[in-house]
Structure 1
Amino acid sequence: MGSNGFGISEPISTGGPTELDVIQNGELEKFLADAGLYESNVEAIKREEVLGRLDQIVKTWVKSISRVKGFNDQLVQEANAKIFTFGSYRLGVHGPGADIDTLCVGPNHATRKEDFFGELHRMLAEMPEVGELHPVAGAHVPVMKFKFDGVSIDLLYANVAAFVIPEDLDISKESILHAVDEITVRSLNGCRVTDQVLHLVPNIQSFRTALRYMRLWAKRRGVYSNVTGFLGGINWALLVARICQLYPNALPSMLVSRFFRVYNLWRWPNPVLLCPIQEGSLGLPLWDPRRNFRDRQHLMPIITPAYPCMNSSYNVSTSTLHVMMEEFKRGYEICEEIEANKASWGTVCEPFAFFEAYKNYLQIDIAAENEDDMMNWKGWVESRIRMLTLKIERDTNGVLQCHPYPGEFSDKSRLFRHSYFMGLRRREGANPQDGEQFDMRMTVEDFKQDVYHYLDWKATMLIYVNHVKKKNIPIFVFPGGVRPSPPPRVRGSNCQIQKSPISSSGEIGAAVERRKRRHEETNSGVNQLESSFSSYSSDTSSFADTKTSKGHELNVAGTLCNANAPENTSISRHDVNESINQPETAETYRNGISTPENVVVEQFQEPIGRNVIAPQAVDDLGEELELKNEFRPFSGLTQANGTRSPIAAEEVEKTSQNGICGNGFDFLQNGSREELEPHELTAETPNVTLFVAPSKPMIRLSFTSLRKTS
């Protein structure tokens, strides 16, 4: 460990700010204030009052259940529970209206299922100040969501191996994890990691300001979403914390600039670590690619500092990593302009024009019957969208990359319906073949089977996946429902720089000198990091010898190098199936239950978000999607016993009768979208009943025009 007591290496630079750095930092702080990222004193006081009230509620709750369970008066009086906070609120980077991540720690006799999601839920439901109460008991980390006096609360529960919870309980100690179940470990992990991050950064205030900016940047650039395959709040906090360790005396503006410079050069899957990985004494599983096959598949490991150390970014895929690396590069280039006084901090955070970036998109439409069903269905579908990205990467051998948009869109005229979008493009550097096509139908059917495996699925919960071109994106995704005019074509860089007030030649010269010095610092930091990690790596020598299945070395050192994301980090079918645990086809559609297609024909006769096509819309040159009247074998439509699945049979019948896509939504007739439907079975297969496929258009991705769309 470095002499500064932080991280696993010496800092790259301990230099302090120059006069120009102070000026730029003032501009950054003004930008954050103007962006409305700080809550008012009134709101801050209200949050504290709500947390105090919630703490009193859980104390009353645990005494009540202790009495019901037969404890005497003295034990009931001693019974206690305590509220902790974590996430953005605990880090001090939350904004107005943000929810508060909270954890209730209770005694071992207060159970999660019967007492927390039972009695405490009943108590909260009866309180007039509590609204929008929504328990999610089946989540990976079970949570109770609600609003308390208008403040959004996410409440987790951990029942530790203690009869009495002291008011001065220290959950950062390893002993708190003794004799608890895995869900309790995961529930405690948020608080433990947050506290450890604050302990490991050299300057908390600089860390907070830099993190506020990076969170705003990530949200505006569309890379803030753990569930979609990008990074969530804790991931960005860990990345910023590592930069704080590498530049302990830097101002927030300097930290932001170094953030882009360092991670633009970072060669993943080298992990980001704030401290050495501790083995611990409880034998809990740790992130360890030496022993764990799945850990070797992680593309962007960002390791939590609290025991048990885990990879917080396991959701990242090849496609989403590539998108983030492009954003790091863009941020680095604009920060170079800022240091030369030719751009502003607002330029870095300009919103990403997602619906102008690609020519081809997938549109994922979901519908439900009521608000409660939609809330449950929406949460499940969002958790599976990243699987569609993995499946597309798998089935195209990594050639086709996806850019999922983090968040949903809704047509206000249609209740209980949401749409998600995913941009499609060919991976840079891939060698295309003339007329090469990607058949998406089998991939989409595989994804839909996975989604319909939802344990609480109802026949009114629907999902459809469609191809839509840029010019036909539905207008409800645009602000005000107005489709923007196509931007004029400009040769050269498409990065528009917003210039700051003209500075003197002396300031420009000083800026150039600072840029040169910082480049030298970063380059020298490469060798410094590598050498400082040598002793640590010697204790874990097998890390350096471990190869991923993609042929990339896993070096715990977390070094920097002059390389971007690896080009050939594709995921094999075996790897995806290993991590997804896909259900059997026959089980997926629930034999004997009315299929979603039947329901949608009866209840929803119009497509979700019918497109309004802009007249004479201008198409960018890029990937082409072609319709082909062609059918090929698709085993995904057969059940384990060799017969067709109910969905397949009914789709064929309705398609031939109605001339539509077999879902009741007239996607093909409006000429703007084409649903990605599965192949119908035509090949001779032993023990399989054959049938004649109807003449239904089929979607194929064809890359005959290869110029990249900006």
Structure 2
Amino acid sequence: MGMPGLNNHNNGQQRLGITEPISLAGPTEDDVIKTRELEKYLQGVGLYESQQEAVGREEVLGRLDQIVKIWVKNISRAKGFNEQLVQEANAKIFTFGSYRLGVHGPGADIDTLCVGPRHATRDDDFFGELQKMLSEMQEVTELHPVPDAHVPVMKFKFNGVSVDLLYARLALWVIPEDLDISQESILQNVDEQTVLSLNGCRVTDQVLRLVPNIQTFRTTLRCMRFWAKRRGVYSNVAGFLGGINLALLVARICQLYPNALPNMLVSRFFRVYTQWRWPNPVMLCAIEEGSLGLPIWDPRRNPKDRYHLMPIITPAYPCMNSTYNVTASTLRVMSDEFQRGSDICEAMEASKADWDTLFEPYPFFESYKNYLQIDITAENADDLRQWKGWVESRLRQLTLKIERHTFGMLQCHPHPGEFSDKSRPFHHCYFMGLQRKQGVPVNDGEQFDIRLTVEEFKHSVNAYTLWKPGMDIYVSHVKRRNIPNYIFPGGVRPSCPSKVANENKQSSKFRSSGHGQAEKPQGGKAVAVEADDARKRKRSEDMDNNSKNSKPSISLPLPSREVHEDRTPISASSSCSMKFDEAEVNSMVGQKSEKICLKSPGEIPSGDIGTNGSVTNNQQGNPVLAATSNSKEEEKLAIEKIMSGPYEAHQAFLEEPEELEDDTEYRNLVKDSGESMKNNLESSNSKPAVAEVPVMSKETTCSAYLHPNEGLEELEPAELTAPLLSVTPAPVPLKKPLIRLNFTSLGKAADKSS
């Protein structure tokens, strides 16, 4: 029995992966040159730590290993073991994540795992004696234990280096110094928290075993991590890609192009995943059933696995989907970014774009007209840290609820990071861009009303079992022109469109040629023709056109007091409704450059069909693919063949689950939702007042519904209806009357002011 994923070629060479490679060709001279340029670029933007910092990390890990060895001997002696057993007692430190993969940057955390014997318990010894030892050490600062997390962790800084320390309690009396945690037997007779804690190390080690060239893999992964952060798609908790997700995606490309250099691997990353037909899973090796009976990802047997939209499967037993957080909206955003990257890489092959173009920051606050702003506050720093972790784990639920309650017609784009208003102590805020699903016709005057959806989300958040006074959440709708100033660098709102926005407009001056490459505009620097740029350009043009009309394309009830750029959101502004007029929808329907349109959960158009954005390129003078194909069309067929075989058994269902799946990271912290909602209503004097909409029917009580919108929009107090409660709630009075706004008359002036 060989390692899963390791197979042999007909010529006797070792082959990695569950399918044949797409190309075995080596790099061209141009690939060598461009790879050197890429490495120089990555060094220039500060992605590599200094030698001094690297030495400091090694010293911290060495000290930490010494500390846990002293700790396990101390607790062994305290438990009455004889001196010989005390001396034999041992614990070991392992690393995983970006540090173990070799792609960490300056100031990055070190993900570490402490492996201890069976008599060293998690609660009393790890979060007891070891925590006490660390708290008394001068080198340790900002110690923050999280014992009740899904994967219990101790966070702290050791000599200024951030450390996340997990604990695995093995069923062994003595931990050997040469312990191999990759063996399946290590998982025997251990608890679920130990299995989860071991998973990070086991997956990381397996990834490094399943790539043909570790150094090439590392450079490519470092590049893709930087790209994901710059383009706003780096956040597992927000429903995008985290570090392990990107590592698995890059590792699969390395398997498909085993002899390629990073320059080609980056290009093929975008080409392959633009054409990938999700929910076909990405797998580095075959899924092992295992002999221990642990649950593995299997949509044939596990109902919850059937609804995963973008499965990326971990290679170590028990195999799991590392991207269960992905939603239809975030998948759409990532699909757009894959297409953009593919277009730019083709333009780079034609010397019409450079690495700066690929890594341009995504202009999030210029890309939408409407946003949801989620503000959270707490009494002190410790409360805010706990409250922040809880709320971040629930934000994905807001996206899912909006998708479900609007039947997928209203799409959310969550920003992966948080912002803080320095003038407000213990405050964070998050943003989500909102837009109607493109390509869907709508009757003039129809709008979305997501007020009940927002209230349902807030009730679920306030069900936090560790809730303390001062932990509050506010949800408000803001227009682009009213985005608060503190989210911009230096607190200064840009007075003119960004460079990215200008280049988006410039790209409208030229179209792609017959080979999919951009033609150079007269008298200007050529840039790639990008699908998302065309989309943003169209949005910008729509905004300009709408500012000239008396009727804006979108109108929502604003907060219960006038919104200024530096406003403090208030609770009544959580009532949101959206209107899209016929002009905007027609522009969306007629927009040819938008290639991705999610038809239903788990189904997106394939990128290898010419009508929805096929990737083509001129192969003249490029012999890289000569070993296996003579054209990109044949390469597409190879990708198609890859997805047609080993993935058929893992196709996800296209229906949407009846219930939204709770985030497992904090599932042990949730109260009974019905009881907590009742308590929230009874304590309305300590909670923000909310505005509601009348209940229309059982079908629309918990869902957003469409209704005509006239020139005047007015929000009136109504009884708070909680569909999940059997009790009759008391009316919730508004703290301040809501303002009636005439968007028809104010729209033109407001757009000009922006």
Please give the TM-score of this superposition, normalised by the length of structure 2. 0.75
**Distance in 1 separating the partners of 2:315 and 2:711:** 49
Query: Is contact 1:99–1:151 with CA below 8 Å preserved after alignment?
Result: yes
Deviation per CA, 1:327-378, whole angstroms, max 9, x where unpaired?
0001111111111111111210111110000000000000000000000000
Correspondent of 1:588 among 676, 693, 716: 676
For residues 280 and 646 of structure 2, the distance between their equivalents in structure 1, rounded to whole angstroms, comes to 14
Cα separation, 2, equivalents of 1:419 and 1:71: 52
Q: Provide Cα deviations, 1:42-62, integer angstroms capped at 9, x if missing partner.
A: 110110000000000011111
Residues 491 and 639 (structure 1 numbering): CA distance in 2 closer, same or farther, change over 3 Å? Answer: same
Residue 57 of structure 2 corresponds to: 47
Alpha-carbon distance in 2 for matches of 1:300, 1:57: 41
**Pair 1:549-2:654 in alignment:** yes
Instruction: Tell me by how many angstroms 1:514 deviates.
Output: 2.7
Aligned letter for 2:467?
W
For 1:610-649, list aligned pairs within 5 A: 628-629=713-714, 636-637=721-722, 640-644=725-729, 649=731
SS of 2:505 mapped into structure 1: coil
For 2:428 and 2:332, the matched residues in 1 are separated by: 27
| Per-residue Cα deviation, 1:599-654 (whole angstroms, up to 9, x for no partner) | 779xxxxxxxxxxxxxxxxxxxxxx9987325698774377342216xxx4x31xx
Of 242, 246, 262 in structure 1, the residue corresponding to residue 272 of structure 2 is 262
Residues 589 and 595 in structure 1, CA contact (< 8 A), matched pair in contact too: no
Spell out the pairing of 1:242-391 with structure 2 (5 A cutoff): 242-391=252-401
Please say if residues 459 and 599 of structure 1, whose CA atoms lie closer than 8 Å, have aligned partners that are also in contact: no
Partner of 2:102: 92
Q: Structure 1 residue 536: deviation in Å? A: 4.9
Contact 1:111 1:159 in 2 (8 A): yes
Tell whether the 8 Å contact from 2:307 to 2:652 is kept in structure 1 after alignment: no
How many angstroms apart in 1 are the aligned matches of 2:382 and 2:248?
Answer: 35
SS at match of 1:397: coil
SS of corresponding position for 1:363: strand
2:622 corresponding residue in structure 1: 514
Aligned-pair distance for 1:589? 4.0
Please say if residues 107 and 160 of structure 1, whose CA atoms lie closer than 8 Å, have aligned partners that are also in contact: yes
Distance 2:130 2:711 in 1: 56
Alignment of 1:152-231 (within 5 A): 152-231=162-241
- Asked if structure 2 preserves the Cα contact closer than 8 Å seen for 1:344 and 1:500, the reply is no
Matched residue of 1:358: which SS? coil
Q: Bigger shift: 592-601 or 251-260? A: 592-601
Contact 2:369 2:480 in 1 (8 A): yes
The reply on whether 1:473 has 2:558 as its aligned counterpart is: no
Instruction: Spell out, residue by residue over 1:444-484, the C-alpha distance to the aligned partner (whole angstroms, 9 max, x if none).
Output: 01100110111100121000000000000000000011111
1:598 paired residue number: 686
Partners of 2:721 and 2:188 in 1: CA distance: 45
Please state how far the C-alpha of 1:575 moved relative to its aligned partner. 3.4
Distance 1:547 1:383 in 2: 24
**2:505 aligns to what?**
490
Q: What's the counterpart of residue 61 of structure 1?
A: 71
Q: Report SS of the residue matched to 1:338.
A: helix
Does the Cα contact within 8 Å between 2:235 and 2:241 map onto a contact in 1?
Answer: yes
> CA 1:175/1:472 → structure 2, altered by over 3 Å: closer, same or farther?
same
Alignment-mate amino acid for residue 139 of structure 2:
E
Please give the alpha-carbon distance, in whole angstroms, between the structure 1 residues aligned to 2:280 and 2:299: 11
Distance 1:77 1:64 in 2: 10
- Report how far residue 77 of structure 1 moved: 0.9
Spell out, residue by residue over 1:158-201, the C-alpha distance to the aligned partner (whole angstroms, 9 max, x if none).
Answer: 00110100100000000000011111101000000000000000
* SS of residue in 1 equivalent to 2:353: coil
Residues 158, 167 of structure 1: CA spacing in aligned structure 2 closer, same or farther, 3 A cutoff? same
Say yes or no: does 1:576 pair with 2:653. no
Q: SS of the counterpart of 1:283?
A: coil
- Residue 524 of structure 1 corresponds to 634
Following superposition, the deviation at residue 295 of structure 1 comes to 0.5
Partner of 1:133: 143
More deviation in 631-640 or 62-71? 631-640
Q: Give the deviation of 1:500 after TM superposition.
A: 9.1
1:245 is matched by which residue type in structure 2?
Q
Letter in 2 for 1:258: R
Measured in 1, the distance between the counterparts of 2:644 and 2:371 equals 46
Q: Distance in 2 between matches of 1:461 and 1:13?
A: 55
Do structure 1's residue 659 and structure 2's residue 747 form an aligned pair?
no
- TM norm structure 1: 0.80
Compute the displacement of 1:431 (Å). Answer: 2.2
Call closer, same or farther: CA 1:456–1:302 in 2, change over 3 Å: same
Deviation at 1:527, TM superposition (A): 4.1
Task: Tell me the equivalent position of 1:26.
Answer: 36
Q: Would the aligned equivalents of 1:12 and 1:521 in 2 still touch at CA under 8 Å?
A: no
SS at match of 1:279: coil
Please say which of residues 575-584 and 249-258 is displaced more in the overlay.
Answer: 575-584
| Structure 2 unpaired stretches of 5+ | 1-6, 511-517, 528-616, 690-708, 748-754
Query: Would the alpha carbon gap of residues 448 and 599 (structure 1) be closer, same or farther in structure 2, given more than 3 Å must change?
Result: closer
Alpha-carbon deviation of 1:512? 4.7
CA–CA distance in structure 1, aligned partners of residues 660 and 623 of structure 2: 43
Q: How far apart are the structure 2 equivalents of 1:515 and 1:6?
A: 23
Letter in 2 for 1:576: L
Q: Distance in 2 between matches of 1:406 and 1:480?
A: 20
**2:454 aligned residue:** 444
User: Is the CA contact 2:463–2:672 (under 8 Å) kept in the aligned structure 1?
Assistant: no
The whole-number CA distance in structure 2 between the counterparts of 1:392 and 1:345 is 36
| Equivalent AA in structure 2 for residue 629 of structure 1 | E
Cα distance, 1:437–1:386 mapped onto 2, change above 3 Å: same
**Shift of the alpha carbon at 1:70?**
1.1
Do the aligned residues in 1 keep the contact of 2:17 with 2:210 (CA within 8 Å)?
A: yes
Between 635-644 and 93-102, the greater mean CA deviation after superposition: 635-644
Amino acid at match of 1:628: E
**How far apart are 1:528 and its partner, in Å?**
4.0
Counterpart CA distance in 2 for 1:354 and 1:21 is: 32
Determine if contact 1:459/1:595 at 8 Å carries over to the other structure.
no
Tell me the number of residue pairs that the alignment of Structure 1 and Structure 2 aligns. 604
| Alpha carbons of structure 1 residues 358 and 520: separation in structure 2 relative to 1, 3 Å | farther
Residue identity (%): 62
Q: What SS is found at the alignment partner of 1:465?
A: strand
Tell me if the contact between 1:229 and 1:320 (Cα under 8 Å) persists in the aligned partners.
yes
Instruction: Give yes or no for contact 2:309–2:652 (8 Å, CA) kept in 1.
Output: no
Whether the 8 Å CA contact 1:400–1:426 is kept in 2: the answer is yes
Secondary structure at the residue paired with 2:309? coil
- Displacement after TM superposition at 1:29 (Å): 0.8
Q: Letter of the aligned partner of 2:634 in structure 1?
A: S
Whole-Å Cα distance in 1 between the matches of residues 368 and 412 of structure 2? 10
- For 2:679 and 2:713, how far apart are their aligned partners in 1? 32
Asked whether the equivalents of residues 32 and 261 of structure 2 are also in contact (C-alpha less than 8 Å), the reply is yes
Distance 1:322 1:639, change over 3 A: closer
Q: Secondary structure at the match of 1:591?
A: helix
Consecutive unaligned residues of structure 1, counting only runs of 5 or more, are 502-508, 551-570, 602-623, 662-667, 669-695, 704-710
Confirm or deny: 8 A CA contact 1:393 1:399 kept in the other structure: yes
CA contact (8 A) 1:409 1:418 kept: yes
**Any idea what the Cα deviations from partners look like across 1:57-116, whole Å, max 9, x if unmatched?**
011111111111111111111111000000000000000110100000001111111111
Q: Is residue 179 of structure 2 the alignment partner of residue 71 of structure 1?
A: no
> Do structure 1's residue 114 and structure 2's residue 224 form an aligned pair?
no
Change (3 A) 1:281 1:369: same
